[in-house]
Amino acid sequence: MIVKKGGDPLEPRRDKFRRQRKTRMVKTTKHITCSVAISSLIVGTSSQFVGKTLGAFNDSDVATSQIQACEVFPGYINELFSDVKEELLLFNNEVKNIPEVTSYTSSFERIAGLSEYSLQQLKEEEKLLKDKLTKLEKLQNDRLQLDKSLDIEKENLKERAHTIYKLFVRIAQLSDQTTASCLQDQYPLAGDTLKDLMVKSGLNHKQIEKLLFYYNTNQFGQNASPAIGTAIWEDFQASINEIFTSPKKQLEKNNQTMKEEKKKIEEEIASLQAIIKQLEKEEKEKIAKEKAEKEEEEKLKEAKEKAEKEKEEQKEAEEQKAKKDQGEQQDSQKETSDDSSEEKEESKEDDGPENKQVSKEENKEDKSSNDKSSSSNEQTSEKGTDESKDKKKVDEPEEKKDSQGKHSSSAESTKNNKDQSSKNDGEEGNSSGQGQDTSKEKKTKTSKEGDS
C-alpha cells in the first residue's frame, strides 16, 4: 500500500479507474433517463401541435414513435480507450524496469606449487579462498532473489495484460449493444496512438488491430465488429513469457557456472586444509622432539653436576680421612717417643753418670728415627694427594662415558693411601721396637760392666 507524506493511504490506480468508471456509468444512466423522459414528452405532446390537414396522422393512439435512446455514448467509448492507453503505458514502463541479467564468468584458477608454500602462506591462501567462497555464496543468494523478483514482475505484467484484454472485450461488445447512429463519432485514440503502444508492449494482435480500425473509420453497421476472444489472452501470456525467457535462461546459466566454481573452490580449500593439517602435525612433532631433547640434555647436565658434586664430596672426605690418619699417626709416634724418653730417663737415673753418653746417643737416634718416620709420612700423604690429582685430570674426559670408573679409581686411590699409611705405621713400629731393643741391650751391657 502506498502512503502519502501526511500518512493517508493512496488509492490504488486500478480502484481509482473502477470508481471513475462507475461514476461515469451513473452519470451516463442519468443522462439516458433524462433523454428518455424528454423524448417521451415530445412524442406525447406532438399530436396536439399538428394541423387538420394531417388529421390522418395526428391520432395519438395510432401514431408510433421511432425515437430510441442511445445506450452508449461516444464519450464513454473514448474513456475506455483512455483507460487502455494508461494501462499500456504502465505495462511498457514495467517491461522497461525488468532487471537486466548479465552473464557470469568464472575467474577461479587452481593454485600451483602448493608443496613449496610455507604454513603461513597456505593459511593466507585458505583465508582468501574462504573470502571468495563467501562472496560467491552471496552472489548466488542475490541471483536467487533476482529470480524471485522476476517471477513477481511476470505475475504483475500478466495481471495488467489481463486488464487490457478485458477493456478490449468491453469495447468490442459496445458495437453490438447500440445502434450505429449512436456510435458515429470520432475516436482519436482508436488510431495510430494505441496501435504504436500495442506494438511496443508486445501485446499486438490482428483482431485488436481490426477493432481499432473499426472504431477509427466508423464502420458501424457496415461490417461486423471483430470479436476479442480467449485466444488473444493466451497470446498475451505467450508474449509475456517470451519477455522473461532470456533473463531466466541467463540466470540458470549463471547459477550453473557458480555451482561449478563453488565446487572447485571447496575442493581447493579441502586440499589446502589437508596440507595445513599435515604441516601442523609435523610442526608439533618437531616441537615435541626438541622439547624431549632439551629435557634429556637438562637431565644429562644435572647428572653430570651431581656426579661432579659427589666426586668433590668424596675427594674432600678422602682428604679429611688422610689428615685424620696422619694426625693419629703423629699422635701415636709422639706417645711412643714420650714413653721411650721416660724409660731412658728412668734408666739414666738407675745407671748413673756412666750411661749419660749412651742415653744421649739413644735420644739422638730416637729423634732421628722420629724425624725420618714423620718425613716419610708427609711424603706418602703428598704422594697420595698428587696421585689423586693426576687421576682426576686423567679421568675428567671420561666422566661422561663411565661414572662407575670414576668411583672405582677413587676407591683405588683411597686404598693405596691406606696401604701406604699402614706401611708407614709398620715401619715406625719397627723403628720404635728396634730403639727399645737397642736401649735394653745397652742397659744389660752396662749392668754387666758394673758387676764386673
Q: Counting beta carbons within 10 angstroms of the beta carbon of residue 393, is it exposed (0 to 12), middle (13 to 18) or buried (19 or more)?
A: exposed
Radius of gyration of the chain measured on its C-alpha atoms:
70
Q: What is the pLDDT of residues 206-228, one digit of tens each?
A: 999 988 888 888 777 677 777 88
DSSP annotation of 223 reads: B
C-alpha cell at 207: 483482431
Q: Identify the pLDDT of residue 149.
A: 92
Q: Identify the pLDDT of residue 355.
A: 46
Residues 6+ apart with CB under 8 A from 33: none
Q: Round to whole Å and give the CA distance between 307 and 311.
A: 6
- CA distances to 299, 319, 393, 397, 408 from 302, rounded to whole Å, are 5, 25, 21, 17, 21
Q: How many CA atoms lie within 13 A of 120 on its CB side?
A: 0
Amino acid present at 382: E
Q: Identify the pLDDT of residue 91.
A: 95
C-alpha cell at 340: 721411650
Q: Identify the pLDDT of residue 366.
A: 54
Domains of the chain, residue spans: 11-69, 74-280, 296-425
Q: Identify the pLDDT of residue 107.
A: 82
Q: Round to whole Å and give the CA distance between 337 and 367.
A: 8
Residues of the chain with pLDDT below 70 are: 1-11, 40-41, 43-72, 176-180, 221, 346-452
Q: Round to whole Å and give the CA distance between 162 and 386.
A: 125
Q: Counting beta carbons within 10 angstroms of the beta carbon of residue 69, is it exposed (0 to 12), middle (13 to 18) or buried (19 or more)?
A: middle
Q: Identify the pLDDT of residue 258.
A: 92
Q: Round to whole Å and give the CA distance between 434 and 181.
A: 183
Query: SS3 for 9?
Result: strand
Q: Round to whole Å and give the CA distance between 195 and 212.
A: 8
Query: SS3 for 1?
Result: coil
Q: What is the DSSP string of 66-102?
A: -----SS-HHHHHHHHHHHHHHHHHHHHHHHTSPP--
Q: Round to whole Å and give the CA distance between 351 and 212.
A: 184
- CA distances to 51, 58, 59, 448 from 62, rounded to whole Å, are 16, 8, 5, 223
Q: What is the pLDDT of residues 62-82, one digit of tens each?
A: 444 445 566 667 788 889 999
Where are the extended beta strands (E) located within 80-196?
A: none
C-alpha cell at 358: 749412651
Q: How many CA atoms lie within 13 A of 411 on its CB side?
A: 6
pTM score of the predicted model: 0.50
C-alpha cell at 177: 449493444
Q: Round to whole Å and give the CA distance between 142 and 137.
A: 9
Closest CA to 99 of 166, 48, 60, 151: 151
